[in-house]
Amino acid sequence: MLNKKTLTDFFLGCGAPYETADWVLFGAPFDSTASNRPGARFAPKAVRIESNGIETYSPRQNRDMEETNIFDGGDLELCIGDASVALWQIEDAVKNILNDSKRFAMIGGEHLVTLAAVRALQGLHPGLRVLHFDAHADLRDKYLGAKLSHATVMRRVWEILGDGSIWQFGIRSGEKSEFVWASEHTSMQIFNLDGLQKTAASFKDKPVYLTLDLDVLDPSVMPGTGTPEAGGIFFNELLDALQSMPKMNIVGFDMVELSPPCDTSGASTAAACKLLREMLLMFA
């Protein structure tokens, strides 16, 4: 359930009251299906605290968080250990936000939380497109015996939205069968972000959900993630690509898979924090 009181330790500049806010930011601290190194559950709190250390102003965009109107609702209290219950809890919170005619940004948690967001969006936003940045295809049908997993999440999303609704960028890892499957059911750009601008332009005013798995970034930029995958995108490459997109009808977005316990130097959390600022300044 979403907390609607004003947080004291809100994310950088996100101190608007719920009632009047256009966007709602919240944390979904869930990582029970993490098969490799867990810890994404600690990300939302870490990002909020770290945000004290950065500026509200972006020289890149010449925009300031002071100009936004965002409410930070804190972290959802989620069932640990039962993915289906936790997903239902997230879905419920998102629906409440949508029902109040607001848009939202969600800080994961592991990538599975994206499924809850899509479930909440699907009824209200027919024709939803999902713009997916990731090192991994996440298209397995099952992973280690589980249907609900960070490694199956985009397959589950596809079951809801169907062919032609998922655009994947930066994918550089997966089983052979995932790549084969993708060639029929999603649009996948491997290794890099080429074509992003054109893809975004094609969406016109269709509703778009953007999901960013931070491991799309190179592990040198983002070692603090559960499944670092060498050979990725650099920070400025990602921001340049995002900035190059024409304005879209983004109804929500998430940033997932930051794992503070794996971020021994603190630099990953700082990078995630800055990235969230830039995305909020772009989309909110």
Question: Is 36 a binder of a second copy (CB under 8 A)?
Answer: yes
Question: Is 195 a binder of a second copy (CB under 8 A)?
Answer: no
Cα–Cα distance measured from residue 170 to residue 105, given in angstroms and rounded to the nearest whole number: 21
Number of Cβ atoms within 10 Å of the Cβ of 115: 25
Question: Is 257 a binder of a second copy (CB under 8 A)?
Answer: no
Question: Is 5 a binder of a second copy (CB under 8 A)?
Answer: yes
Q: Which is nearer to a second copy, 30 or 203 (CB)?
A: 30
Question: Is 96 a binder of a second copy (CB under 8 A)?
Answer: no
Q: In terms of C-beta density within 10 A (0-12 exposed, 13-18 middle, 19 or more buried), how is residue 126 classed?
A: exposed
Interacting positions 213-252 with a second copy (CB under 8 A) = 218-221, 223-224, 227-231, 235-236, 239
Q: Which is nearer to a second copy, 149 or 187 (CB)?
A: 149
Residue with tokens 């299906």: 33
Cα–Cα distance measured from residue 44 to residue 72, given in angstroms and rounded to the nearest whole number: 11
Q: Please identify which residue in 149, 187, 199, 211 interacts with a second copy, judged by CB under 8 A.
A: 149
- The string of DSSP letters for 226-250 reads SS--SS-B-HHHHHHHHHHSPP-EE
Task: Name which of 28, 211, 26, 203 is nearest 128 in CA terms.
Answer: 203
Q: What is the largest CA-CA distance in the chain?
A: 48
Q: Which is nearer to a second copy, 52 or 202 (CB)?
A: 52
Q: Please identify which residue in 24, 32, 71, 155 interacts with a second copy, judged by CB under 8 A.
A: 32
Question: Is 108 a binder of a second copy (CB under 8 A)?
Answer: no
Question: Is 15 a binder of a second copy (CB under 8 A)?
Answer: no
Contact characters 47-76, a second copy, x per CB under 8 A: --x---xxxxx-xx-x-x---------x--
Task: Name which of 56, 58, 93 is nearest 74 in CA terms.
Answer: 93
Q: Which is nearer to a second copy, 105 or 270 (CB)?
A: 270
Compute the least distance from the CB of residue 198 to a second copy, in Å.
Answer: 22
Pair 278, 60: CB distance under 8 Å: yes
Q: Which is nearer to a second copy, 22 or 82 (CB)?
A: 82
Among the residue ranges 18-26, 39-47, 95-103, 242-250, the one whose residues contact a second copy (CB under 8 A):
39-47
Question: Is 18 a binder of a second copy (CB under 8 A)?
Answer: no
Q: Please identify which residue in 14, 21, 24, 34 interacts with a second copy, judged by CB under 8 A.
A: 34
Q: Which residues pair with 68 in a beta bridge?
A: none
Task: Name which of 117, 17, 1, 28 is nearest 71 in CA terms.
Answer: 17
Pair 81, 148: CB distance under 8 Å: no
> How many residues sit close enough to a second copy to count as binding (CB under 8 A)?
79
Q: Which is nearer to a second copy, 102 or 136 (CB)?
A: 136
Q: Please identify which residue in 1, 124, 144, 201 interacts with a second copy, judged by CB under 8 A.
A: 144
Tokens of 240: 């340049």
Question: Is 94 a binder of a second copy (CB under 8 A)?
Answer: no
Cα–Cα distance measured from residue 5 to residue 73, given in angstroms and rounded to the nearest whole number: 7
